[in-house]
Amino acid sequence: MKKQDFTFGIHAVEAVLKHSPERVIEMWVQAGRDDQRLATLLQMAAEYGVSVQTSARKVLDEKSDNGQHQGVLARVKAVKQLNDNDLLALVEKTETPFFLILDGVTDPHNLGACLRNADAAGVHGVIVPRDNSVGLTPTVSKVACGAAEVVPLFQVTNLARTMKSLQDKGVWIVGAAGEADSDLYKTDLKGSLAIAMGAEDKGLRRLTRESCDSIASIPMSGSVSSLNVSVASGICLFEAVRQRLG
């Protein structure tokens, strides 16, 4: 595990300063940038005694790999990786657990967007397999707009075994698949729940699908056969929210 990492983008850096300021080692801001959002970050950094340097945009572009840093970048202590034991400990102390399972999502933009959806829907944690899945990268944190700092990401060794452990704790698992006969909107999504979504191209793997308690599909009226996993996860999560509020 890396001891240090980079976080970039205004929302992502602000979230680290707000929720885990002790993780921030130092910050860089783009020379010549003078706007209110950056000024707020600089004020927060000063309050926590974080060293701030000004740098040319080219330097920030190189450190953030893609230049989507919005003029701010922070070097941070890497977050502790959460595993199966951490997940089950959370289930034990949560009255009505609500999880999102992502089976083999490898695109950091999709994982970041799913974390953002999960935060908005009040999900207690996102579960991914340790192998063949993207973890918490700087790009994931940037796309998540701060959600990566507040939504736990559990990287588990054996996804099917973890799902069985959740079921043993009373968590009902609903998998999303386009060819399912059951309609998402007619599926009971109240109570202790995990929604399982498949990868961008292949959907749920066979073993993951077989480990679900039920399978449901999002009704599709148009000509496209499937939705991006982050869009589909938002639809599924907020249908659960609608039912739970009702």
Residue 227 annotated as binding site = yes
Residue 218 annotated as binding site = yes
Q: Which amino acid is at 201?
A: D
- Asked whether the beta carbons of 21 and 13 are under 8 A apart, the reply is no
Residue 165's H or E segment, with its range, is helix 159-168
245 three-class SS: helix
C-alpha angle 81-234-18 in degrees, rounded to nearest 5: 45
- Asked whether the beta carbons of 23 and 79 are under 8 A apart, the reply is yes
Residues 6+ apart with CB under 8 A from 192: 96, 97, 98, 169, 170, 171, 172
* CB-side neighbour CA atoms (13 Å) of 81: 16
Residue 245 annotated as binding site = no
- Asked whether the beta carbons of 118 and 237 are under 8 A apart, the reply is yes
Binding-site residue numbers for S-adenosyl-L-methionine are: 198, 218, 227
Binding-site residue numbers are: 198, 218, 227
